[in-house]
Structure 1
Amino acid sequence: MSSMASPTLPANLGLLISNLSSFVNVKLDSTNFIIWKTQLQNILRATDLLDILDGSSSCPSPFVRDSTGKEIPNPEFSKWKMIDNHLLSCVTATLSQSISTSVLHLKTSSEIHVDFVEFVLKKFVYVCIWAEDWDYNKIVICNRLVEFRCQIAVHQECYGANNIQDFTSWVCRACKTPNVERECCLCPVKGGALKPTDVDSLWVHVTCAWFRPEVAFVYVEKMEPAVGLLRIPSHSFVKVQPCVICKQTHGSCTQCYKCATSFHSMCALRAGYRMEVSLPCFFFYYEQIILRNYTIFIGYLS
């Protein structure tokens, strides 16, 4: 019995492999998603391979039936599989180490499509999870080198990290005292973009502070300290209804204003839920009038 011949490498795939580094000259990290996406999609579109990556060209059946009704290997499947394997390798080669470790479990190129990579990338960008940055509002990464790398990524304006002289040596607020473990007092999520409060030893995620209307930042430019923790209603800390996402009761759950669903703001943000904002407001704190950064937040699961 003769074995089925191995499929030959298509010309368009050979063109992609030989010119990939020229057409995609950046390694995707938390600072260059838009450039990476544009370069990758352009070369895939030019080589007529984008339909495999975005899933519009589905995988053929592994077997077909011949004229006698006998099931035989499908040569189109072998060809598609070869192209897909090479394409998966090519796309993975354009990712930085921090991003590629999150997609190692994927087996086909369609699983690593651009939208999924953007979703993965957003996990690295705390507070707003927006993957794009600007000259006046860069994404900065904590470069803590003690014991382990923190590597949280935040926009300067989201975290109050302005006037940075050296981006390569910047560390987040919590990592300035690495020997003291910091945790958010409003949710169970470990790590993240933490800021001190006016209550000694208590810290909060910037996101958790944003979505509690009782909490604000005294100095908006620095986004710290967070004040108003003692104004949060005690019933939000009652361990009766857990967060619908993490199923834990630690901290203070926010309640959807349209229904009775309870959730931690940080959990909802990381899970990709949408939360809305209303109009600006002012409140008094020790005889100071404070404008809430990004105003009162109204959260609901959408």
Structure 2
Amino acid sequence: MQERSAWKINGFLALLLLLLLLAAVLSSLVFLRIGIAVILIILFVVLSAGMVIVQPNQAKAVTFFGKYMGSINTNGIWLTIPFSQHKKVSLRVRNFNSAKLKVNDVEGNPIEIAAVIVFRVVDSAKALFDVDNYEQFVEIQSETALRHVATKYPYDNFEEAGYSLRGNTEEVASELAKELQSRLTLAGVEVTEARLTHLAYATEIASAMLQRQQANAIIAARQKIVEGAVGMAQMAIEKLLKEGTVSLDDERKIAMINNLMVAIVSEKAAQPVINAGSLY
């Protein structure tokens, strides 16, 4: 199905014509012209059957004896094909929250994920005639797309480079929107936005994965501390030697570096005894 414009004329002109027909019917009855009055009454009934009112951001698909004749997307009152059926569909922007889905990410870890989907109907013919219930179709396809995208990425990247569900929410949301659009084009629906609203490890592994995240954070912090401590110890030794304050042999350099590293890296307050060498 492909949406097209239905035949229509301005409803106010049609109302004026109906009033004129009604006046002609009364005039015919007054002058006892029964035949003309009957014809005018039939014409009045036929035209009245084609009147339709379209609300803002609404479309009405016109079908005539089972055949799709087009859609009326312009709000107002119109005269269209008499004795036709008018199926309405909302063109307003709508959104819904998907249910929390339990899926496995690309590494096999069970996670919980949910999203909010913002969409609108852009083709009334497809929405009404190509799918049975477009709203239910949107919900089911949204859950299917969300599951598919969630299984393509890990929840988090601990060591490898690449996208993750937690670290690349913008990219994941963009891919989810594209996936949804490819699925919902059949129903004449345009996806405006798709965003993750819930992302967490499943209950059975949440505690273990939290410990893993904490361990990785501690390792990363320690690495930064060690890098900084090495630079500070090196700078201290070079400054002492450059200014000629002390004279250090290799053994005393090692001892001083060891004490400086302990003082900087230790979590608790350290009180090292620093051997600065001999003055003689």
TM-score bucket of the superposed structures, by smaller chain:
under 0.3
Task: Mark the structure with the bigger radius of gyration.
Answer: 2
Identify the structure with bigger relative contact order (alpha carbons < 8 Å, sequence gap 6+).
2
TM-score, L = length of structure 1: 0.23
TM-score, L = length of structure 2: 0.25
Structure with a larger share of its residues in strand:
2
Structure with a larger share of its residues in helix:
2
